[in-house]
Amino acid sequence: MRTEKIRVRMLAGLLAAGLVLSLPAGGALALGEGTFTEETVNSDALAQDQNVQDAKEKKEALQKELDALNQQLANIQGDKKEAEETKAALEKQKNLITQQISALISTISDAEEAVAQKEEDIQRTQQAIEEKEAEIDEQWDAFKDQMAAMQMLNDTGYVAMLANVNSLYQLLTFSNTMQEISQQDTEILDNMKAQKEELNEQKAQLDKEKQELEAAKQELESQKSELDAKSGELAQNISATNQEISDAQAKEQAQQQVVDAKQKEYNQAEQEYENAVRAALSNAQGNDTSNDFTSSLFVWPLPGYHEITTYFGETQDINGYIKSGHKGIDVRTAGASPAIHAAAGGTVTVSTYSSSYGNYVLIYHGQDADGNGYATLYAHMSSRAVSEGETVSADQTIGYVGSTGLSTGMHLHFEVRVNGNPANPFNYFS
């Protein structure tokens, strides 16, 4: 086909001279050893038409601008998503710390209870010590009284007593008894003192334990205040991230408006280009635009594949790039690259590559009885099988499913356009 096209280009002069008008519609003209079809004539007519070329240039310039704006929008959306992820991570961290703090609060309260218990024990021991001291004092008083009585005997009554002692044995016994009494008292006192000593030791042990508990409690409290500080810091970071997110949202909104305005401009240019193409083709072919298209007779463009991943009007997330108001339907092919069929007969008015649609084809089908113009669009193709100006019939292969342009997997993005505006394809299949 390529060599034929080149030959046809060399015949441009002849064609411009009006030869093309004499071609039978849809027919093929024998020329030398090769043949060329109406499609090549159409392509040539388009290449020569200044209006078509101007409209094409304008459309392509706008497409570039739109691509750049969309890229900026995607960057902003990426920043926003990143900030949202950061925020989620910070919140997770903060929740973890909040849990740790509440565990510490309960441990601290346990420690407080233990300290209070220890204080009670200390108080009880202190009371026992005081009681023991009172007992010792009492015993000491009794002992002193006894000693005083004995002293009195020694000082005054000893001689009188001696007078009553009949024998040395009696005297010795008396003396022993006195000694025994004093010894017993001393033992009792010693015993009490030992008990008091033991209580003092107990109290000292309790004091030490209480001090340890308080130190542990203090350590817990300092851990808690560290965590409180960390939690406060995280709260600050979260609010800073919230600010980032809302800044990105504002930027996104502003950018979306710019994109929408540019998209409108582009759609207009695309429509103008299509009009120019149609005008050039009808000049070249002498076609009249009869209003005989029946829009309800579209055939399914991807026989055997019916898994719709995105319906008309839905919002898409393409690698973090959020696009609302899906202009067509996405038909998934699960990695396969089947042929794409024209949904109806018509003229290929666009067959090109764009950064968003990838390889795509737009076919103009004609007008219905009400004067509404219909076109279908097929995007993200791995390759295109038709060129601009070519006439296609319903069900003809126009390209192959791919994932070119802004796409995340093998699928056909299929649009129906009525008077240039996207419409739900499911309203038009036969």
Give me the residues that bind Zn ion (CB under 5 A), please: 330, 413
* CA torsion through residues 329, 333, 337, 343, sign: negative
**DSSP state, residue 275:** H
Q: Tell me the sheet residues that pair with 377.
A: 362, 415
Q: How far is the CB of 13 from Zn ion (least distance, A)?
A: 44
Q: Which two tokens stand for residue 164?
A: 């009553």
Task: Give residue number: closest CB to Zn ion.
Answer: 413
Q: How far is the CB of 96 from Zn ion (least distance, A)?
A: 41
Phi, psi of 327 (to 5 degrees): -85, -5
Q: How far is the CB of 79 from Zn ion (least distance, A)?
A: 24
Q: How far is the CB of 385 from Zn ion (least distance, A)?
A: 20
Nearby residues of 211 by Cβ (< 8 Å), 6 or more positions away: none
Q: Cα(411)–Cα(387) distance, rounded to whole angstroms?
A: 21
Q: Which two tokens stand for residue 145?
A: 């009284």
Residue whose token pair is 């939690």:
231
Identity of the residue, 286 or 409, whose beta carbon is nearer to Zn ion in the bound complex: 409
Helix (H) or strand (E) holding 362: strand 358-367
CA terminus-to-terminus distance, the chain: 34
Q: How far is the CB of 347 from Zn ion (least distance, A)?
A: 23
Count CB-CB contacts under 10 A for residue 91.
15
Identity of the residue, 217 or 332, whose beta carbon is nearer to Zn ion in the bound complex: 332
Q: Cα(290)–Cα(369) distance, rounded to whole angstroms?
A: 9
Q: How far is the CB of 255 from Zn ion (least distance, A)?
A: 21
Q: Which two tokens stand for residue 254?
A: 């502003």
- Closest by CA to 359, choosing from 388, 331, 336, is 388
Measured CA to CA in angstroms, residue 332 lies from 129, 328, 377 at distances of 90, 13, 16
Q: Cα(344)–Cα(393) distance, rounded to whole angstroms?
A: 6
Identity of the residue, 274 or 330, whose beta carbon is nearer to Zn ion in the bound complex: 330
Q: How far is the CB of 23 from Zn ion (least distance, A)?
A: 38
Q: How far is the CB of 415 from Zn ion (least distance, A)?
A: 8
- CA 410, distance to chain mean position in Å, is 25
- CA 405, distance to chain mean position in Å, is 25
Identity of the residue, 311 or 429, whose beta carbon is nearer to Zn ion in the bound complex: 311
Identity of the residue, 94 or 413, whose beta carbon is nearer to Zn ion in the bound complex: 413
Instruction: Report helix, strand or coil for 330.
Output: strand
Identity of the residue, 232 or 313, whose beta carbon is nearer to Zn ion in the bound complex: 313
Q: How far is the CB of 302 from Zn ion (least distance, A)?
A: 13
Identity of the residue, 27 or 335, whose beta carbon is nearer to Zn ion in the bound complex: 335
* CA torsion through residues 350, 354, 357, 359, sign: positive
Q: How far is the CB of 328 from Zn ion (least distance, A)?
A: 6
Identity of the residue, 346 or 358, whose beta carbon is nearer to Zn ion in the bound complex: 358
Identity of the residue, 20 or 73, whose beta carbon is nearer to Zn ion in the bound complex: 73
Identity of the residue, 297 or 418, whose beta carbon is nearer to Zn ion in the bound complex: 418
Q: Counting every residue, how long is the chain?
A: 430
Identity of the residue, 224 or 327, whose beta carbon is nearer to Zn ion in the bound complex: 327
266 conformational bin, left if phi > 0, alpha if psi -120 to 50, beta if neither:
alpha
Instruction: Report helix, strand or coil for 387.
Output: coil
Q: How far is the CB of 339 from Zn ion (least distance, A)?
A: 19
Q: What is the largest CA-CA distance in the chain?
A: 179
